[in-house]
Amino acid sequence: MKLTYRLAALALLVAAPLPAFAATINAVMYKNPQCSCCESYAAYLEKYGFKIDIKPVNNLSQISSDAGVPTDLEGCHTMMIDGYVVDGLVPVDIVRKLLTERPAITGITLAGMPAGAPGMGGEKSGPFTVYAFTKDGKAPTVYATE
């Protein structure tokens, strides 16, 4: 009788679908060589299945501008990920939302280096506003708040 239960349990395990393993999401991060919060942010994303190739550069403002990031909304690094630009310390849930929804935008940005953001120390003092932007120069719009 015990063998029958074990066989039935084994049959259920074999018949049940195994959880899908998420594919690694590759990204390239351009950052100022002196900024250490960017490495912390990269480590944060890597905990969630991202693989970040960090490239220290001395022309981050130019890279951000070339990527279409509005000057007044620049973050502390610019990351290229799956056809999008992610600028600044954007929380992983919002990055995943971008990659799932795939809107017709160039990218998203969390301006500056707000306290409590992923990779930054300190207490979060209020919601983060993440903006969507396009290369055509249209005014940025709010993409998400967290």
Report pLDDT for 22: 58
Q: Which two tokens stand for residue 45?
A: 């994303």
- Kindly report the pTM of this predicted structure: 0.83
Q: Which two tokens stand for residue 105?
A: 């935008």
Mind listing the domains of the chain with CATH numbers?
A: 23-145 (3.40.30)
Report pLDDT for 143: 97
DSSP one-letter code for 47: T
The total number of residues written for the chain in this structure: 146
- C-alpha angle 119-121-124 in degrees, rounded to nearest 5: 100
* Residue 27 backbone phi and psi in degrees, to 5: -145, 155
Report pLDDT for 19: 36
Per-residue pLDDT of the chain (146 residues; tens, 9 = 90+): 444 444 344 343 334 333 334 589 999 999 999 988 999 999 999 999 999 999 999 999 999 999 999 999 999 999 999 999 999 999 999 999 999 999 999 999 999 999 999 999 899 999 999 999 998 878 899 999 99
Of residues 105, 85, 68, 89, the one with CA closest to residue 27 = 85
108: left (phi over 0), alpha (psi -120 to 50) or beta: beta
Distance linking the first and last C-alpha atoms of the chain? 54
Percentages (nearest 5) of helix, strand, coil residues in the chain: 30, 25, 45
Report pLDDT for 137: 75
- 64 CB neighbour count, 10 Å cutoff: 22
Quote the CA–CA distance of 76 and 83 in Å, as a whole number.
20
